[in-house]
Amino acid sequence: MMNHQTAWVWSTAKYAFGPHPRTYSSGNDKYTLPPDSSVLYHITRAMKVKDTSRLNPYFTLQKTNTRKMIANDLYLCEWPQRKDRALRLYEKSAKDMEALQDGTYFQQVGTDHPQYKEARQLMIDSYNNILALHMRAKQYALAKKAGAVLLEKDPRNLKALLRLAKVAMMDPKTSLEEADSAIQSLENAVTYKNKDEEEEARKLRTTWKKKKANAAS
């Protein structure tokens, strides 16, 4: 295909979404593609992009955005069958963005550059998604490890602290001291400027108090 050419591509269910439904939104309309649906794709080639990541990270950022979107789709729609593939994609995204931030390009343009901020946010989001994936799979030790890696890079990341507090309460191997510390770290990070954050932290604290009281009785 040449730039701006359009093609129709037919795919059987096996090579499209398989036995998994997909829900889409368009404006105010929402519809669900049933399981085992064959799909007709309408594809337009916009442009051919060369990998110029040594000169400019645009291409690497676009690849990582796409990789993360695929992983999100697998996590939401093909759990748990594609859990391992989603994990690999998140890990690749995090490592690529970490390497990009440490590369020569940003050493030259500085960390205030919008692309640096995009790379950092992609890295943070990917590590957060790794934490969420392990939490959902009840792999609590791995979730805590992923959270520790993330907090080294962003110590006051509220989403990670919320998830780690939940993991502390879900994991039967968590000590009372460890759970108390997780809840306290969360409360220290809440800015109380966001009502949803404040409410979620409050609910976790209440739940933990009840759980601790039951354990003591």
The model's pTM: 0.83
Whole-number percent of the chain with pLDDT over 70: 95
pLDDT of residue 97: 96
Q: Alpha carbon of 177 to those of 32, 131, 143, 171, 206: distances in Å? A: 46, 21, 18, 13, 16
Which alpha helices (H) appear in 82-157, and where do they start and end?
Answer: 83-101, 104-109, 114-136, 140-153
Q: How confident is the model at residue 47 (pLDDT cuts 50, 70, 90)?
A: confident
Q: Over 70: is that where the pLDDT of 192 sits?
A: no
Q: What angle do CA 121, 127, 128 make, to 5 degrees?
A: 85
Beta bridge partner(s), residue 32: 23
Using CA atoms, how far apart are residues 209 and 114, in angstroms rounded to an integer? 43
pLDDT of residue 52: 59
Taking residues 62-67, report their average pLDDT.
94
pLDDT of residue 194: 74
Using CA atoms, how far apart are residues 110 and 58, in angstroms rounded to an integer? 16
Q: Where are the domains of the chain?
A: 1-48, 55-154, 157-217
Q: Is 44 helix (H, G, I), strand (E, B) or coil?
A: strand
